[in-house]
Amino acid sequence: MLIKTRIKSSIRSQTITNKMKISLGVLTVLIALTVSKRLPSNFKICDHFAPNLNECLYDAVLSALHQMKNGLREIDAPPLDPVIIPNATIEKGEFTINFNDIHVYNVTDAVIHKINATATTERFYATMFAGVEEILGVMNYNLKGKLLLFTIDGGGKAIIRFKNITFDMVLDGEVVEKNGAPHYSLTSFSVKLDPKLITFDMQDIFRERKDLTEAFNIALNQNWDVFFGETQAEFEEILSQFFMQYANNVFKYVPVQTQ
């Protein structure tokens, strides 16, 4: 008989409370600005105050995703395929998951469906809706605690696939000035995820017990939506922090134009 159960949710809202702790490893994606560094000449930059700003940003984001796939050496920006996050920890009431050496693939395959932006000499605000057929996450993990009626203290390699996933993003920033050059700096970057399916392969979660490992993965995949609902806010926060820092490393090389 296939194992089915429910996870008792401890999330009352998307707000992180003192019952939920997110601990991210140091994201080494930001490099100090130096005079010699600049975006490549073929990097598309939009006139912030042009009437066709949204259309320009649509083209610019698609172009940037293509260029950023292998990184931009000119500004020391690392590749976006895969996105590499050194480590992250999700702590819940009954279990803790430590992830490390996280590789996230296919981000640059995203299709941009809509962008709506407002840019002034003081503020940048944009909403963006995108989607991709599959996001693949490959990482090492350790899980300790109680999940799906299993008492666990184990880990190994994890392969997580987000199928037909959409991203609803909101970017908000202000103008800052450094070395006499004003540029936008994001103060928030929120990401809301909506996958149609998630599959998990949590390898070696019960060391030397393939039967229990298989039973756990069956239960987790049958209850993927319940588990994701329990941990959605944490996954979104991990991505939000990464992409805000990555975007700011680009923005600091784009001076704000004056009207």
Residue 142 falls inside a structural domain? yes
Is residue 43 domain-resident?
yes
As a whole number of angstroms, the distance between CA 192 and CA 106 comes to: 17
Give the total number of structural domains in the chain.
1
Q: Answer yes or no: is pLDDT of 29 > 50.
A: no
Residue 165 falls within a domain, yes or no? yes
| Residue from 83, 69, 108, 87 nearest 29 by CA | 83
Cβ-count burial 63-97 (b if 16+ within 10 Å, e if not) = ebbebbeeebeebebbebbbbbbebbbbebeebeb
Q: How confident is the model at residue 36 (pLDDT cuts 50, 70, 90)?
A: low
Whether residue 218 lies inside any domain: the answer is yes
Of the pLDDT bands very low, low, confident and very high (cuts 50, 70, 90), residue 17 is very low
Q: Are the beta carbons of 29 and 245 closer than 8 angstroms?
A: yes
Which among 207, 84, 105, 87 has a CA at the least distance from the CA of 156?
207
For residue 37, is pLDDT > 60? Answer: yes
Lowest average pLDDT, out of 12-26, 156-170, 194-208, goes to: 12-26
Q: What percent of the chain is modeled with pLDDT above 90? A: 66
Torsions phi, psi of 227, nearest 5? -65, -40
- Distance CA(73)–CA(77), nearest Å, equals 6
The angle subtended at Cα 98 by Cα 97 and Cα 103, nearest 5°, is: 115
Q: Which residues contact 153 (CB under 8 A, 6 or more apart)?
A: 143, 144
Residue 256 in any domain: the answer is no
Evaluate whether residue 204 is within a structural domain: yes
Any domain includes 224: yes
Q: Which domain holds residue 87?
A: 21-27+34-251
Residue with tokens 């004003």: 182
Q: Which CATH number is 89's domain given?
A: 3.15.10.30
Phi, psi of 216 (to 5 degrees): -65, -45
Across the range 107-111, mean pLDDT stands at 94
256: confidence class by pLDDT, cuts 50, 70, 90: confident
Q: Is 9 among the domain residues?
A: no
Residues 64-87 have a mean pLDDT of: 92
